[in-house]
Amino acid sequence: MIPSLSIPRAQRATVGFLAVGVVVLIAYELTESVWLETALVLALTLATFVAVAAVARRAGIRSAWTLLAASSALWFAGWIRWQIGVLQTGAPPVSFSVADALFMSSYVLLVGGLLKFVSVREPRGGGAVESAMIAVVAALASWLTLIGPALEHDVLVGEAGWTQAAYAILDVLIVAVLARALLGTLRDTAYLLLLGSIVFLLAADSAWNWLYLAGSYSAGGYSDLGWIAFSILMGAAALHPSAGDLARPIAVPRHNNWRRLAVFVAAGAALPALFWLEFLTGVHELDSVVVDIGKTVLMALVLTRAFMLLGESERLRLTLAEQNTELKELDRLKDEFVASVSHELRTPLTSIRGYLELVREGEAGELTADQDDFLAIVDRNAERLLRVVGDLLFVAQLDAGALPLERALLDPAQLARQAADSARPVADERGIKLSLELGRLPDEFSGDETRLAQALDNLVANALKFTPSGGTVEVRAAASNGSVELTVADSGPGISDRDQQRLFQRFFRTQEASDQAVPGTGLGLAITKAIVEAHGGTVGVSSEIGHGTEFRIILPTAA
Amino acid sequence: MTSPHLILVADDDPDILQLVVFRLQRLGHEVLTASNGQDALDLAREWHPALAVLDVSMPGLTGYQVTEALRSDPETTAIRIVLLTARVQDADIQRGREVGADAYMTKPFSPQELAGQVQELLGEIQPVGRT
C-alpha cells in the first residue's frame, strides 16, 4: 500500500515541480558529465519559462507576470550561450559576452516585474524609505566586497571588471525591491516562493562574483546550485494556484510596522556602529568617497523617515482629537433623541390611557359589560405598549452611558416579598401557585431599590408568562458568604442549552416564545442583567427541557 | 366633595389639557387653563391659584422656568406645583426637585392618581380665596 499523501489537487503541480527540482539539483551536483549538466539546466530553465509564461497568459499582458516571463525567457537564452561556452572550453564565455547581455536584461526585467507586483498588491503600502536604507547598506557592503575590488582588479581589467561590477550593482537593485516586498504584506504561497527564489538568486550571484574575483570559480560547482534553486522556486511559484492572485490588490493589507521600525532603528544605529568600529580597530579603510556618499545618503534617509514619523504621529493626534469632538457631539445628539422620542411616545399614550380611564369610570355614560371588557383590552394593550417604550428607552439610556444607580440601604427580604406580592394577582388569574421562601438574610444591603425591583420583577414576570396553568413559581431569597441570592424558579417547559447562551442578549426571544406569541420584546433579561451587573453582581440561569427553569441573581452585600 | 379651589393647568397638548381639566372640575375645583409657559405665568400672577399643574415641555417658558419664577416671587411662592412630564431620565426628575416642585408625575399618568395627588397637596394648605 502506498501511503496516501494528502496534497490538494490544485497544489500538486507546485509540489511536483519542487520534487523534480530537487532531483535536478542532486543530479547536477553528482554528475561529472558536462552534457548532462547542460541538459538539466536548459530543461529546467525552459520549464520555468513555460510555467511563468502560462500564468502571464492567464493574468493578462499588462500583469507583472509578463515581465517575469520575458525575464525567464532571457534567463533561458543566457544559459544557452553560457553552456555553449562551458561545452566548448570548459569555462563560461569571457566577459563581456552575449550571455552577460542576456542575463543582465533578464535582471532588469526581474526588477521591473517585482516592482510591479509590489505596487499592484499594495498601492499605498509604506516601506519605500526603509527599503532604500537596506539598499544603501547592501550597496556599501557590495562596494567594499565586490564592486570596488572588481573595478580595481589586477587581472580582470577593462570590460571584465566592469561586467562583474555591473552584476553586483544589479544585485543591489534586486535587494532594494526584495526589501520593499518583504516589508509589505507577506501572504499567498506563490508570492513567498517567488521572494524565496530571489534570495537564492542573490546568494548564488554573490558567491559566483566572489569566487570569480578570487579566480576560483568553476562551472558546475556548488555555487551554481543557487541559480538552479532560483529557477525551481520561480517555476513552482508560477504553478501554484495563488499565482494569479498576485497581480491583484490585497483587500486588507497587513502592514507590519514592527518590521519597518526595526529597519529604521538598525539603519540609525549603523552609522555610529561604523564609526566606533573604525575608532576601536584603528582601521580606516572605509574612508573613501563612495563610502562617505553611502553614509551620507543613509543618514539622510534616516532623518527623512524620522520626520515622516513625526508628521504621521501629529496627523494621527489631530485626527483623534477631531474624532473625539465628533463622538461627544454624537453622544449629545443621541441623548437628545432619546429624550424627544420618549416625549413623543408618552404624550399620546397619556391621552389614550387617561380618556380610557374616564370612559370606563362612566364619566361619558354607563357602559355595557361588553363595552367595558373591550375597553379593558384596549387599556391592557396601551399599558403593554408603554412598557415596551419604557424598556426601549432604558436600553437606549444604557447605550448612552453607564447605568446611574441611586444606592440606599434596603431590606432584601422586603425586595423579594414585594416582587412576589405584586405578581400575585397575575399568578392567581393564571392558576399558578406563587410561593415565597425567605432564608437567613442580612437586615439590609446597599443597592438601588427601584432598579433591583425592576430586575426581579422581570424574572418573576417571565416565569409567570412561560409556566402553564397549575404550575408553580417560587421566589427565594437567601444569603451566602458576602452576597444575597435572589432566585426565581418555575415549573415551566424549560429552556434548551443553546437558547440559554443567548438568553441575555437584547431582543433575543426563544423560538417557542415567538411561536406561541408570548408577549415580550426580548429586552427584559438584558435589562435585568444590566441592572445586576451595575451592582457588581451576576445573573445566571439553569434549566432543563421539561424540568423548569431557575434564574439566580447574586448581589454582593459588601458594596 | 372637598371645598373648591382655584387651579391653574398648563399643557401645550389640548387633549391632555382637557383631560386634566375635566378631572379637576369633577372634583369641584375652578380651573384656569394655559397652553404655554408665559400665559401660565401671567395667569398665576394675576389670579394666585392654590395649585398649578404644569407640563414641563411647553413652548416659550418650560414648566421648570415657570416653577422657578413662581417660587422666586413672594406673591406666588405659596402656590403648590405639580409638574407633568414625559421626560423620564433621572436628570429630569432631579431638575424637577431642584426647581422646587411639590410633586412630579411622569406621563402617562392616571388622571385618578393626579386627582389624588392634587387633593393631598390642597389638604395641606389653607384654602386661598380668589383675589
Q: Tens of pLDDT along chain A (559 residues)?
A: 455 557 778 888 999 999 999 999 999 989 888 899 999 999 999 999 999 999 999 888 788 999 999 999 999 999 999 999 999 988 888 878 999 999 999 999 999 999 999 988 888 777 888 899 999 989 988 888 888 888 887 777 778 888 989 999 999 999 999 999 998 888 889 999 999 999 999 999 999 998 988 888 887 778 889 999 999 999 999 999 989 888 788 877 666 678 888 888 888 888 888 778 777 776 666 567 888 888 889 999 999 989 988 998 999 999 999 999 998 888 778 777 777 777 788 888 889 999 999 899 888 889 999 999 999 889 888 888 888 888 877 877 777 666 778 888 989 999 999 999 988 988 998 999 999 999 888 888 899 888 899 899 999 999 998 899 999 999 999 988 889 999 999 998 889 888 888 888 877 888 777 777 677 778 889 889 999 998 999 999 999 888 899 999 999 987 4
Provide the 3-class DSSP secondary structure of residue A174. helix
Overall average pLDDT of the B87-102 stretch: 76
What is the count of residue pairs from A and B with beta carbons less than 8 Å apart? 62
What pLDDT score was predicted for residue A284? 60
How many percent of chain B have pLDDT more than 90? 46
What is the C-alpha to C-alpha distance for residues A120 and A123, in angstroms, rounded to an integer? 6
Of B15, B26, B110, the CB nearest to A351: B15
Closest listed residue to residue A25, CA positions, set A204, A269, A179: A204
B113's enclosing H/E stretch is: helix B111-124
Contacts of B108 in chain A (CB under 8 A): 346, 349-350, 352-354, 386
Mark yes or no for CB contact B13/A339 under 8 Å: no
Average pLDDT (B1-10) is 84
How far is B8 from B119, CA to CA, in rounded Å?
Answer: 14
Closest by Cβ to B89, choosing from A352, A390, A397? A397
pLDDT of residue B131: 35
Residue A175 per-residue DSSP state? H
CA-based nearest distance A455→chain B, Å: 17
Closest Cα in chain B, distance from residue A417 (Å): 24
d(CA A91, CA A461) in angstroms, rounded, equals 95
Instruction: Tell me how close the Cα of B97 comes to any Cα of chain A, in angstroms.
Output: 15
Contact between residue A353 and residue A383 where contact means Cβ atoms under 8 Å apart: yes
> Rounded distance, CA A483 to CA A479, Å?
6
- In the predicted structure, residue B130 carries a pLDDT above the cut 70: no
CA distance B35 to B59: 8
Distance CA A96, CA A162 (A): 9
Backbone Cα Rg of chain A: 40
Contact assignment for B13 to A386 by CB distance below 8 Å: no
Measure Cα distances from A21 to A86, A155, A165, A230 in Å: 22, 36, 30, 10
User: For position A115, what pLDDT does the model report?
Assistant: 93
Largest CA distance in chain B: 38
pLDDT score of B89: 66
Q: What is the pTM of this model?
A: 0.58
The residue assigned the cell 507577506 is: A186
A477 bridge partner residues: A438, A486
* B124 pLDDT more than 70: no
Is the model's pLDDT at B129 over the cut of 50? no
Which residues of chain B neighbour A357 with C-beta distances below 8 Å? 110-112
Contact B19 A351 (CB under 8 A): yes
Identify the pLDDT of residue A4.
Answer: 56
Handedness of CA A258, A260, A261, A263 (dihedral sign): positive
**For residues B27 and A542, what is the distance between their CA atoms, to the nearest angstrom?**
53
pLDDT digits (tens, 9 = 90+) for B15-69: 999 999 998 998 889 999 999 999 999 999 999 999 999 998 888 888 999 999 9
Helix (H, G, I), strand (E, B) or coil at A438: strand
Bridge partners (DSSP) listed for residue B30: B6
Contact A357 B111 (CB under 8 A): yes
Q: For A355, which residue in chain B has the nearest alpha carbon?
A: B19
| pLDDT score of B127 | 44
